[in-house]
Structure 1
């Protein structure tokens, strides 16, 4: 099997996600495939993903990964396996989960989220002929590790432009799930987009939890409370990069008759958020589904990806969704966003990755 390393910017518009809201804590690992004891040391016709905090049903990050797995099952005819996180789990739990998936013959095995990086580094060494994917992390590398990463700051810059143009109060809000470097990329791009569009605008920023507490990605009540505080502070557009917790921010903005901006998936189209969709102005999408699908396809084709695989704005690896007809009707907003997009791609705008 020949292994290739790809360092490129690739992407297409995100596939439509078939999602539903589910509870987040205390889930057990499940194997959706019929494969059992086949060796992971050979190319397998089964692919697996291990979900991040919040699990499948978060209407955001994890569900985007699931969409890629689902597409691979349909288009590539591969069997699939899924493993859910458990509340308060340790690195040892992640190691055990990934090891179990690899032993069952799944290839690739994909960890959804940077928190899987240390575990993947350990397990990948034990299964050198199995490809491991890690989404949103480049700190752990190896010949059989594919680092699937995105230019989140670019999509967030566009969200900042849209928020500044749509705001009537001149005050907007950003809510991050957990204060880690990845989420700071969202904050940095958003704040820069807002300020470049309206230098007099005010950005209220808040984080729900601090590491090692990652529950800020999983608790909608925290997102709702933070959004209410920003609404009380005059914000009329709120952008939450907080996984499942972001649904609480969307609920709060909708209840107040203000705008929310979604993240990762096109949240205007998520069934679990249908009652709030008229107040979801747009969403910053990351084509996690494509990244998952591409990695599975590369293994099936016998040319597994490894190294950094980057998805950027120029190929819609990150993008700003336009599903809401109200957003499409805001010609001044959409024109400003399209100009900003063109300028970023042309490298006339350099988007910061730290606030």
Structure 2
């Protein structure tokens, strides 16, 4: 995927740095390189699961890591904890802003209420929120980094439909929110585009305001095993850190799994990766990196920056040789989506 480079910002207050250190949840580091000649302080607030989830949060971390490698920046990472309140998320963002970090990136739509409160209090700070739509939070200093996850999900739905032998596939969502339902909608549409007679089992691990479904591999494993036992031979997840449970069940059952956000074939254990047919890719890393660059050049625009197939912001992975036999069919649908001949639904059919 395409990436960029650049930056700029002010020094951290000593008291702010002390407060952040006491708070924990991340590390501060600097790195030189690239064409940048000024110093930038970037704050990043992870969603539940944090760095190391091998999915959504790790993509944001990868974008930040690339910025540290290519640009001269200082960073601070803080993470959400399971079951925390909107007030806790707001406090985390406020802490970063008070300590002089600018820009600040909130990872995950769950930060929308907190950002809605904090952004007006710090009008000179540039904020970005990954997956937070403008309808949920907006402002002159808020950039919404949003994706057409339904389009990449459509493509892996095509892969699932081509790979299934039982005409029975599954979808596991972490939390039943409009965002995750976009994944479901695209996946079901992709399956149906190949064969409308294929059954799609759908299960969610938790319901709002319970967001534990994004970090519950044990529950995902049990859910996936139930789908395999119920006849599914391909299961796709959009459940963040819970996805590792799906991969365990897939390896045990010797049936297909489909990853999400990053190429999860590349990060799975040796016994699991052969069963990860493909992954629906989401360019969170690219979006984070480019936002940091734009902030440094004072070129940040508020409002939504939307990344789809046309913008090369989403896609599907081809690391597993097993998916290559379906590439021509998948790419054919991809072209039709880019050309506007297919409009992928963003909400599941009733």
Relative to the length of structure 2, the TM-score reads 0.89
Which structure 2 residue ranges, 5 or more long, are not aligned? Answer: 4-22, 31-37
Q: 1:215 and 2:212 equivalent?
A: yes
Partner of 1:316: 312
Given that 1:150 and 1:318 are in contact with CA atoms closer than 8 Å, whether structure 2 keeps it comes out as yes
Deviation, structure 1 residue 12? 3.4
Partner of 2:17: none
Partner of 1:183: 180
C-alpha distance in 1, partners of 2:222/2:140? 44
Partner of 1:336: 329
Q: 1:118 and 2:113 equivalent?
A: yes
C-alpha distance in 1, partners of 2:70/2:2? 16
Given that 2:262 and 2:280 are in contact with CA atoms closer than 8 Å, whether structure 1 keeps it comes out as yes
1:78 is aligned, of 67, 73, 77, to 73
- For residues 117-138 of structure 1, give each alpha carbon's deviation from its aligned partner in whole angstroms, at most 9, with x where no partner exists: 1111111111111101111111
SS at match of 2:274: helix
Distance 1:291 1:48, change over 3 A: same
C-alpha distance in 1, partners of 2:166/2:113? 44
Please list, as runs of the form range in 1=range in 2, the aligned pairs for 1:84-95 lying within 5 A after superposition.
84-95=79-90
Given that 2:39 and 2:74 are in contact with CA atoms closer than 8 Å, whether structure 1 keeps it comes out as no
Partner of 1:298: 294
Deviation, structure 1 residue 44? 6.3
Given that 1:72 and 1:78 are in contact with CA atoms closer than 8 Å, whether structure 2 keeps it comes out as yes
SS at match of 1:305: coil
Please list, as runs of the form range in 1=range in 2, the aligned pairs for 1:166-205 lying within 5 A after superposition.
166-205=163-202
Deviation, structure 1 residue 278? 0.6
Partner of 2:2: 12
- For residues 190-237 of structure 1, give each alpha carbon's deviation from its aligned partner in whole angstroms, at most 9, with x where no partner exists: 001101101111100100000000000001001101100100111000
SS at match of 2:258: strand
- For residues 268-323 of structure 1, give each alpha carbon's deviation from its aligned partner in whole angstroms, at most 9, with x where no partner exists: 111x5343111110000100001100110011112223211011111320000101
Partner of 1:273: 269
Distance 1:305 1:112, change over 3 A: same
Relative to the length of structure 1, the TM-score reads 0.87
Given that 2:157 and 2:187 are in contact with CA atoms closer than 8 Å, whether structure 1 keeps it comes out as yes
Deviation, structure 1 residue 50? 0.5
C-alpha distance in 2, partners of 1:278/1:33? 36
Which structure 1 residue ranges, 5 or more long, are not aligned? Answer: 1-10, 14-26, 35-42
Partner of 2:127: 132
Which protein, 1 or 2, shows the higher relative CO under an 8 Å CA cutoff with sep ≥ 6? 1
Instruction: Provide the alpha-carbon RMSD of the alignment.
Output: 1.7
Given that 2:171 and 2:235 are in contact with CA atoms closer than 8 Å, whether structure 1 keeps it comes out as yes
- For residues 134-180 of structure 1, give each alpha carbon's deviation from its aligned partner in whole angstroms, at most 9, with x where no partner exists: 11111210000000000000000001100000111110000000000
1:144 is aligned, of 136, 141, 146, to 141
Count of residues paired in the alignment: 321
Deviation, structure 1 residue 28? 4.0
Higher mean alpha-carbon deviation, 142-151 vs 247-256, is at 247-256
Deviation, structure 1 residue 46? 1.0
Partner of 2:236: 239
Distance 1:212 1:169, change over 3 A: same
Q: 1:325 and 2:324 equivalent?
A: no
Given that 2:82 and 2:211 are in contact with CA atoms closer than 8 Å, whether structure 1 keeps it comes out as no
Higher mean alpha-carbon deviation, 102-111 vs 153-162, is at 102-111
SS at match of 1:284: strand
